Amino acid sequence: MTRVLIVDDHAFIRRGIQAILNSSPEFDFCGEADNGIAAIRLSADLQPDIIVMDVSMPGLNGLEATRVIREANPNIKVLLLTLHESGEILRSAFQVGAQGYLMKSETDHELLRALRMLVAEQVYISPKADAHDAASVLREIPASQ
Partner 1 sequence: MTGETELQKLSSVPSSKPLRILAADDHDILRRGLKQLLTARSGWEICAEAKTGREAVALAEQHKPDIVVMDVSMPDLNGLEAARRIHKVLPKTGIIMLTLHFSDQLVKDIVDSGARAYVMKSDADRDLVNAVEALANNRTFFTARAADMLLNDFTERNSPVTPQPPSPSRLTSREREIVQLLAEGKSSKEVAVALGISVKTAETHRANIMRKLQLHSVSELVRYAIKNQIIEA
Interacting residue ranges for partner 1, rule: CB under 8 A: 10-20, 83, 104-108, 111
Whole-number Cα distances in Å, 47 to 23, 60, 79: 22, 20, 15
Neighbours of 59 (CB within 10 A): 11
H-type helices in 28-126, by residue range? 36-46, 62-72, 87-95, 108-119
CB of 63 to partner 1, least distance (A): 19
Whole-angstrom distance, CA of residue 62 vs CA of residue 6: 11
68 versus 129: smaller Cβ distance to partner 1: 129
11 versus 138: smaller Cβ distance to partner 1: 11
CB of 45 to partner 1, least distance (A): 24
CB of 91 to partner 1, least distance (A): 21
Whole-angstrom distance, CA of residue 24 vs CA of residue 134: 28
3 versus 104: smaller Cβ distance to partner 1: 104
CB of 18 to partner 1, least distance (A): 7
Whole-angstrom distance, CA of residue 114 vs CA of residue 30: 18
